[in-house]
């Protein structure tokens, strides 16, 4: 296990723009506040979504697409540097009109309404390729 202590510098709350991409809005907030590393939580609703499931045997993401309104029952993630850009690693639990839930890595979603809380770390975090998982993970 690799770990280190982090200090936080700022905390922010934001409303996501209706019709925008959910993850891009979080990355935009990180850009605006110069958050090179952060932890966030969010909630709200989306008009559509693409979740990804990571197959650990094949080391590949598979999309799960929704073209319907969904509640964002829970959304959690972190911000770090990936390929010279701030990247919001985002996981979400979404629910439909019958209360059925779907969860996974949130690749894309169109915001209906969203609220986010972001806690920014003092030192940046970068992602680096991990040969075992074939994922880009925090250093």
Q: How far apart are CA 26 and CA 48, in angstroms?
A: 17
CATH code at position 81? 3.30.1330.80
Q: Which residue has the tokens 């506040």?
A: 33
Confidence of residue 127 (pLDDT cuts 50, 70, 90): confident
Would the pLDDT of 139 be above 80?
no
Confidence of residue 64 (pLDDT cuts 50, 70, 90): very high
Host domain of residue 121: 16-138
Would the pLDDT of 27 be above 90?
yes
**In DSSP terms, which residues pair with 85 in a beta bridge?**
82
Q: How many domains does the chain have?
A: 1
Residue 4 lies in a domain: no
Give the side-chain half-sphere CA count within 13 A for 139: 11
Residue 5 lies in a domain: no
Would the pLDDT of 45 be above 90?
yes
Best CA proximity match to 106, nearest among 36, 32, 24: 24
Residue 7 lies in a domain: no
Residues 20/12, Cβ–Cβ less than 8 Å = no
Best CA proximity match to 42, nearest among 94, 87, 82: 94
Give me the mean pLDDT over the 123-133 stretch: 88
Q: What is the pTM for the complete model shown? A: 0.92
């Amino acid at each position: 296990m690799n770990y280190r202590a982090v200090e936080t510098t700022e905390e922010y709350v934001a409303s996501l723009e209706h019709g925008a991409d959910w993850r891009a809005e979080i990355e935009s907030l990180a850009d605006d506040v110069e958050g090179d590393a952060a932890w966030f939580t969010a909630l709200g609703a989306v008009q559509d979504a693409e979740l990804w499931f990571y197959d650990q045997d094949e080391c590949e993401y598979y999309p799960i697409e929704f073209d319907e309104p969904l509640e964002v029952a829970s959304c959690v993630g972190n911000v770090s540097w990936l390929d010279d850009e701030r990247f919001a690693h985002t996981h979400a639990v979404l629910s439909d009109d019958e209360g059925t839930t779907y969860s996974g890595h949130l690749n894309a979603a169109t915001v209906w309404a969203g609220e986010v809380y972001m806690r920014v770390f003092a030192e940046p975090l970068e992602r680096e390729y991990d040969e075992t998982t074939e994922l880009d993970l925090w250093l």
